[in-house]
Amino acid sequence: MKPTEARILLTGAYGGIGEAAAAAFFGAGAALMLSGRSPAKLAAQSRMLMGRTTGDRPRVEWRSADLTSTADLASLASDAREWQCNVIVHAAGLASFGHLETATPESMARVLQTNLLAPMLLTRALLPHLRGLPRAQVICVGSALGGIGLPGYSIYSASKFGLRGFAQALRRELADSAVLVQYLGPRTTRTGFNSREVEAYNRATGSATDDPAIVARSMLRMLEDEAPERFLGYPEKLAVRINGVAPALLDGAFAKHRRSLPALPRETSGEAGDTTTRTDSFPVNP
């Protein structure tokens, strides 16, 4: 789809990747409906983008929404339909990093709800509208960790593997319609949401990171060339392919990653040798 024909609902609009994507889409001529939790941040982002408008009609709107709220999702879908959205970009997300045993049930549920269930519910709500259009696209912004499972990312990978499976299955389900479902898998991206532990892990393992602008350009390219799936970065793209064919072959390749995980903190619980710890999820795009 040409950007000038796109009316894009962008979730996670003011996150690291979302902000870069909004600028890229808007600069290419797309109309935008920005979505996120904070009205103040969305209003400021909208004003900044609108300052670049050269036409007679505004091309940026915003709606605040909590993607874990059923009511907010329904309201956002209704507004997007009325606005005649023809592209959904699922860029909102939460990340979770650390040993599985340190995660709380609540944080695990938040990650899966935000990264997987919310895109599924929002797509479902808008699908009857999208089916009635001459052309529509759903772009799921996942992660390379939706194709490779790394130590420390069991929860996050589960959400992104799920998102990739959702995009793949729905794309095939809608193959005889005008709705295209796509999956973009960036590798680690430099955003303000990455914790110090994640940054230390990346340094220790030699993981390359990309600027959000690189991801945004790939997102814009995906809108235009309508590629069904794309992963970013080398060796990540190669690892995804190997993992898809023979995942056990890569099991021994991540010993450094396993050793680079944060140490398990100890808390005395009344019995010698008993250790517990806790880590919570933190926002990231993606």
Question: What is the torsion angle, in degrees rounded to the nearest 10, for the CA atoms of residue 171, residue 143, residue 63 and residue 61?
Answer: -80
- Collapsing DSSP to helix, strand or coil, 143 comes out as coil
Contact yes or no for 4/54 (Cβ under 8 A): no
What is the model's pLDDT at position 95? 85
Instruction: Average the pLDDT over each of 80-84, 101-105, 249-253 and give the range with the smallest value.
Output: 249-253
Beta bridge partners of 249: none
Instruction: Report the distance separating Cα 219 and Cα 205, nearest Å.
Output: 27
Instruction: Name the average pLDDT for the chain.
Output: 90
Residues β-bridged to residue 212: none
Average pLDDT of span 97-111 = 95
Cβ count near 117 (within 10 Å): 18
Are 185 and 146 spatial neighbours (Cβ–Cβ below 8 Å)? yes
DSSP assignment letter at 84: T
pLDDT at 127 over 70: yes
The count of other CB atoms within 10 Å of the CB of residue 16 is: 23
Q: Region 81-87: what's the mean pLDDT? A: 98
Q: Is there a contact between 38 and 233 (Cβ–Cβ < 8 Å)?
A: no
| pLDDT tens string 140-182 | 999 999 999 999 999 999 999 999 999 999 999 999 999 999 9
Q: Is the pLDDT of residue 126 over 50?
A: yes
Confidence of residue 56 (pLDDT cuts 50, 70, 90): low
Residue type at 135 in one-letter notation:
R
What ranges do the domains of the chain cover? 3-283
Q: Give per-residue pLDDT as tens, 175-221.
A: 999 999 999 999 888 877 678 888 888 888 888 889 999 999 999 99
What the block records as the tokens of 166 is 């959702």
Here the tokens at position 219 are 């997102």
Amino acid letter, residue 156: Y
The confidence score (pLDDT) of residue 286 equals 43
Q: What is the 3-state secondary structure (H, E, C) of 213-269?
A: HHHHHHHHHHHHHCCCEEECCCCHHHHHHHHHHCHHHHHHHHHHHHHCCCCCCCCCC
Contacts of 127-135 with C-beta under 8 Å, sequence gap 24+, read: 127/179, 129/80, 129/81, 129/85, 130/86, 130/88, 130/179, 131/177, 131/178, 131/179, 133/86, 133/178, 133/179, 134/178, 135/1, 135/5, 135/86, 135/178, 135/180
Q: CATH classification of 3-283, choosing from 3.40.718.10, 3.40.50.720, 3.40.1280.10, 3.40.50.410?
A: 3.40.50.720
pLDDT of residue 277: 35
